[in-house]
Amino acid sequence: MELRHVSVHGHRLAYRTQGSGPVLVLLHGMAGSSSAWNEVGAALGARFTVVAPDLLGHGESAKPRGEYSISGHANVLRDLLAALGHRRASIVGHSFGGGVAMQFAYQYPSQCERLVLVSSGGLGREVGWLLRALSAPGVDHVFPFVCSPALRSAGERMLAWLDGVGLRPAPGAMESWRAYAGLADRETRIAFFRTLRGVIDVEGQAVSAQDRLYLAAHLPTLIVWGGRDGFIPSAHARETHRRIPGSTLEIFESAGHFPQCDEPGRFAATLEAFVEATRPASFSEDDWHDLLRAGRGARPAPAGIDPEPCPAGRMPAWAGA
């Protein structure tokens, strides 16, 4: 995909784009960048306008000393889409980007046509030990010693040697390496720790969308997860599917935390089929207010009850009022 830049509020935002047609926004995870979507975006560009931004503080986007909350990223995404002339889009979010995608759908429902959550954060307390350890006080002060430019260069030489003997790591592992290597840059590292500590502490994920998932009943929702995800357990996918009536669940059993990298062809085909099989949500601010009023005091689906598809704009029968 072509890498471009645009200025939003005086900050440079990088994004990759390709194709024409309905707009698909692809959001990467924490410490990642839009490059994680290169292969998938290239495939989808034949049918869609693909926009994959580097979130603020990530990749080639600016890294200001400012806010890196989920809601802050959702605000910047809204303004980026406006700057690019896109009024509505289907939002696809991986890991931390899944949290941003859900927040965008919550804050700007009239602009979100579909929601796709890929190994998403914000759906349960459990998270891998590494991220919990990195959130501990003081780790950011010692981290430069374990992620220095010298170590990054040594790692890249090792990867080049492995590639030369035909032992190139799996695509998901390579994406994890690129995220780690990027943290050798001081500004990127500062933005990473501010982002991390906004959503994770030593006990696990500190931000949860579980109490609001019933609101997604009006929104076509696809959940994709790797069956071997070592960062966020696939049990979160199944529980989220249970809580969102009418949602679609796809588990890539042999994939890890990056199913879009491990199986890009299957991922692109799954996403394209989902878009073709669903009608884009069309919600006004009045519709959203009515849904919130109808859903005050709504509760999650009881355990053991399989959710039924829910027509747009109506609360599932089990939610009550």
Report pLDDT for 164.
62
Report pLDDT for 321.
26
Cα separation of 281 and 312, whole Å?
Answer: 8
The answer to whether the CB of 85 falls within 8 A of the CB of 20 is no
Element (H, E) at 153: helix 149-164
**Bridge-based pairing state of the strands 23-27 and 49-53:** parallel
Cα separation of 219 and 247, whole Å?
Answer: 9
Cα separation of 194 and 199, whole Å?
Answer: 9
Instruction: Identify which of 45, 38, 200, 20 has the alpha carbon closest to the alpha carbon of residue 128.
Output: 200
* One-letter amino acid of 176: S
Report pLDDT for 312.
35
Percent of the chain with pLDDT over 70: 83
Cα separation of 126 and 240, whole Å?
Answer: 14
The answer to whether the CB of 100 falls within 8 A of the CB of 73 is yes
Please identify which residue in the block is written with the tokens 């830049």. 5
Residues belonging to the active site? 95, 229, 257
Task: Look up residue 6 and give its two tokens.
Answer: 């645009």
Tens digits of residue pLDDT in 63-103: 998 889 999 999 999 999 999 999 999 999 999 999 999 99
Per domain, the residue ranges of the chain are 2-127+205-319, 130-201
Please identify which residue in the block is written with the tokens 């029968």. 317
The answer to whether the CB of 72 falls within 8 A of the CB of 21 is no
User: According to CATH, what is the number of the domain 2-127+205-319?
Assistant: 3.40.50.1820
Cα separation of 275 and 34, whole Å?
Answer: 21
Report pLDDT for 181.
79
Report pLDDT for 157.
62
Question: Which regions of the chain are under pLDDT 70?
Answer: 145-169, 177, 295-321
∠ CA 194-89-70, nearest 5°, is 15
Report pLDDT for 221.
97
